[in-house]
Structure 1
Amino acid sequence: MKKVTSISTKIKVLGALLIALMLSVIAITIYLNQQNQKDALIINIAGKQRMLTQKMAKNVFYIHYSSNKDFYELNSAIDEFIEGLNILRNGDSVKKIYPVPTYQISLQHTEVNALWDDFYKNIQNFKLFTNSNVDRSAELEEIVTTIYRDNTKLLDNVDKLVTMYTDYSENKTNFIKTFQYAAGATLLLLFIYSLLQLRSIESHVEAIMQYSKKLISSKDITKLEPIEITAESETEILEASDTINCFIQKINSAMDYSNEALLQSERASSKLEELTDEFDSIIDELKDKSLTNKHLNNSEDIVIESTEELINSTRKLSNLKLELEKLTKSCQDTQT
């Protein structure tokens, strides 16, 4: 058995689905766009890390091959690099940057941190040997060579980290696009479904309106046909059709009853007329018998009186039928 749904329920459900879907699209789009803005900041920080590795290596070479022993730029680059690594790995509540988003990026962070520990240790030794009063030329040359070698590895892994963050951001951007396309398609399908449902409701209402007009304009009310509505129609439509059919059934029953009663009355009247004729013939034959004549006259009076009563009943039933027809005609004129 198919479940019948009311018109109000259909409208409420369709409206709720449309509103919920639209709000979901808006909310998720806003959220993901905000995340993309944070991703751009993260990519910028990661890209700066790549630049800082080169800056530190250049400062080491510059200090080593010149008489300048100023470590300010080198220390500044080191501090900025360490801060950037910490933000990328653990996040920043002030800047609303979240910690490492994926397991693969976390593994790459571990690799970068391991390379950075060795790189940072060599830089610290470089500064220590450079400021030493003892001649450490051989150790400095070895450390500078190690820094040059490790800088390439660190730069490559930082570059890989930047690529992973970029790919992660692009995947989210693609997800946003896919989600928006899917949501748009869903909205379109839901809109089409809504139009079909509204069209179905309109057709059911139109069927009742057409039948009402046909009922009003009909001149013959002796046998009214009930309205036919599919079982899948809405609750309000079924209730309206049941009300109309109940009214039609009552009119048909009243008309059938009045016609049947009128027919039976006419048959009884006809039979009584035949009896009266028979009594008349018998009375003619028994004119000389006064007592018999008296009783027969009495019987004849009774029969005549009964006949008159039946005729009156027939007339009243005819008037009942006329009144029913006038009632229906009056209803039709009022609707017109």
Structure 2
Amino acid sequence: MENESKEIVDIVKFKKLRRLYIFALLTIAITVILSQILIQYNLYNQLSDSRIINISGKQRMLSQKLTKEILILNFVPKVQRDAKEIERVNDILALWQFNQNALEKGNDSLRFPKEKSAELSNLFEGIQPNFNAIAKAAEAFLQNKKLGLGEKKNQQLLQTILQNEPIFLEKMNQIVGQYDQEALEKVTLQSKTEYGILVFTLLVLLLEFLFIFRPTNNKVEMLISKLLFSEKKALKLAHDTEVISEAKENSVKELKSLNYAMENTLLYCRVAPNGAIIHIGEKFSKLLQYNPFISDKTFAEALTSVEKEQNYINQIILEKQRTGWQGEINITTKNEQSIWLDLSMVPVTIKNDESELLVICFDITERKKAEQEVDRLNKQNTDDKLNQQKIISSKIVENQENEQNRIAKEIHDGIGQMLTGLKFSLESINLEDKDKAEQKIEYLKKLSLDIIKGVRTATFNLMPPELSDHGIVPSLLKLTQELSKLTGKEILFYNKTDFDQRLDSLVEINMYRLTQEAINNALKYADSSHIIVQLSHSPTLLSIIIDDNGKGFDVTSVDKKRNSESGMGLLFMKERIQYINGRVFFNSIPGEGTRITFNIPI
């Protein structure tokens, strides 16, 4: 009851504070609105006052201008312009009269007030006779001027204007001064009023702080303290509850472990030490096609129908029921389907004297199939590589045989025939016939030179002497020059980076043979007329580029035709360049030409 009464009192206090807060806000809002209304009203009046002061000052100027124009009309005759001048002076007179009436009686279009202070009313009454005298005299003067009559009378009218005009100006100055004084009084009043509103607003804010904000703040602080105290009590209660529930944790640990196993595996089963099934999961029973409600088979019998496999599983249960077991097994299901399981047996103690095995399985049949497929593909790939290597070896042997046959043919048909001719020529020399002997000797000299040239050509094709003596650059230069002479095609060599290093002899001979084969392919298959061999290097790489303007080829399609002559040629280049840890790149466009690039580490 005491707590309820406190809550009721707090609610009443909050309602009272809320009403006071709303009242304070309304007071400030009304104050601000009234302040704005007053400021706008005063600004509107100030605009009217400034316009009135402006028109009042203009009246003095108009009266002076009217007097000056009338004097000009009187003393400076302009017959041809009198009508226009009179009309213009009439306009000035009309504007002067209109402004004076608006100032005195008020005007809605000019926003001139009709009500005036007593001082202004007295001043306007005092200036009215002078204004009327000037206006009547000016009207009469202009009328006489327009009709061309009464020059003598015009002089009297002019005297009337001149007598009243200074008086009018003086009184008009008084009116302007009065307007200015009243405008200053209005501004001063507005300033005082705004200060008063400001003081009132500050007072309201001070009262709000003292009687609303500070009590509300104190109340909120008190509520926060109560909430913090309640939170501490709740935390203590939670801690006490946790201490109480700790005694129950031991009794549910087994259930938590089993629940964790079931939640995180798809295939599970609880098995007794003798192999009987205590419980089998739904997923596992579907996989094994086993109905636990109408069957009492052991775990091994439910797992497979093959006796040999059953004995193996029973042996595992018997030997590993205390230590557990994990491994992969292959079983045969009821429908003669072979599946692989990643099986784990975990011993679980339910009570002090009772234990069981928790069997957790993963179906890894697809993974095993994938592994078998990978093994098959690896074996197939190995076989393909072996067959490819056999083809390469046979082609190498075949090329060596062809090269040997070509060299033997060159020696037999070329050098051999020339040596035979040399032998017969030597035998036919008759020293007694000096003239014929000299001719035959000259012929023998020429034949000897041809034999030497043939021997050099044959040895050059086998192993150019420049390669072993001077290195790759001179040998490639010699190769392009010789092939250019023999074929009649333009074959050029450029050493772009002035490479002059010697490399390992195995690297140099392979680079030479690769370049030789690339040039021969361009001549034999591409029907090229221009071939450019470029050599360049960096600190770690030597690059040889062979460009030709031949008919080109489709690199992808040729690379797939491993059994064709062109496909084997590309394969030989790749095999040879890999032998010296290099790389080869083929870039060819049918109908435009081919570029072959060899990159060798140095």
Which one-letter code corresponds to 1:77 in the other structure? I
Which structure carries more helix by proportion? 1
The 8 Å contact of residues 100 and 106 in structure 1, kept in 2 or not, is answered as: no
One-letter code of the match for 1:199?
R
Tell me if the contact between 2:86 and 2:146 (Cα under 8 Å) persists in the aligned partners. no
Amino acid at match of 1:86: N
Q: Percent identity?
A: 17
The question of 1:103 aligning with 2:118 is answered yes
Partner of 1:171: 185
1:94-173 map, 5 Å: 94-130=109-145, 136-137=151-152, 139-173=153-187
Given residue 27 of structure 1, which amino acid in structure 2 is its aligned partner?
I
Once residues 151 and 182 of structure 1 are traced to their aligned partners in structure 2, the CA distance between those partners, rounded to angstroms, is 47
1:180-217 Cα deviation digits (max 9, x unpaired) = 2222222222222211221134335656776x689989
Match of 1:91 among 97, 102, 106: 106
Measured after TM superposition, the shift of residue 145 of structure 1 is 2.5
Q: Structure 2 length as normaliser, TM-score?
A: 0.33
* Structure 2 residue aligned with 1:33: 43
Secondary structure of 2:22 counterpart: helix
1:130 Cα deviation from its structure 2 partner: 4.5
Tell me the secondary structure at the aligned position of residue 71 of structure 1.
helix
> What is the CA deviation profile of residues 78-127 of structure 1, one whole-angstrom value per residue up to 9, with x for unaligned ones?
10011112222333323433224322212222222222111212223333
Contact persistence 1:43–1:165 (CA under 8 A): yes
Rounded Cα–Cα distance in structure 1 between residues aligned with 2:224 and 2:187 = 53
Task: Give the C-alpha shift of residue 71 in structure 1.
Answer: 1.7
Number of residues paired by the alignment? 218
Q: Deviations over 1:220-275 (max 9, x none)?
A: xxxxxxxxxxxxxxxxxxxxxxxxxxxxxxxxxxxxxxxxxxxxxxxxxxxxxxxx
- Paired with 1:65 and 1:214, the residues of 2 have a C-alpha distance of 103
CA contact (8 A) 1:109 1:161 kept: yes
Offset of residue 134 of structure 1: 6.1
TM-score normalized by the length of structure 1? 0.56
Corresponding residue for residue 23 of structure 2: 13
Q: Does 1:82 align with 2:92?
A: no
**Aligned positions of 1:188-199 closer than 5 A:** 188-197=202-211, 198-199=213-214
Deviation at 1:10, TM superposition (A): 0.8
What letter corresponds to residue 135 of structure 2 in structure 1?
Y
Greater strand content: 2
SS for the counterpart of 2:19 is: helix
Structure 2 residue matching 1:105: 3-state secondary structure? helix
RMSD: 3.2
Q: With a CA cutoff of 8 Å and minimum separation of 6, indicate the structure with the bigger relative contact order.
A: 1
1:31-80 Cα offsets, whole Å, 9 max, x none, are 21122122222222111111111011111211121213432232111100
Change in Cα spacing, 1:58 to 1:213, as seen in structure 2 (3 Å) is: closer
Cα shift at 1:166: 2.0
CA contact (8 A) 1:88 1:100 kept: no
Matched position secondary structure for 1:98: coil
Pick from 57, 72, 75: which aligns with 2:67? 57
The equivalent of 1:245 in structure 2 is none
Query: Do the aligned partners of 2:48 and 2:111 also contact (CA within 8 Å) in 1?
Result: yes
The structure number with the bigger radius of gyration is: 2
- Can you give the 5+ residue segments of structure 1 that lack an aligned partner in the other structure? 218-328
Gaps of 5+ in 2: 1-12, 239-602
The answer (yes or no) to whether the contact 1:115–1:154 under 8 Å persists in 2 is: yes
**1:202 correspondence with 2:217:** yes
Name the CA distance, whole Å, in 1 between partners of 2:46 and 2:215.
44
Question: Aligned to 2:112, what secondary structure does the other structure show?
Answer: coil
2:52 maps to a residue whose letter is I
- Shift of the 53–100 alpha-carbon distance from structure 1 to 2, 3 Å rule, reads farther
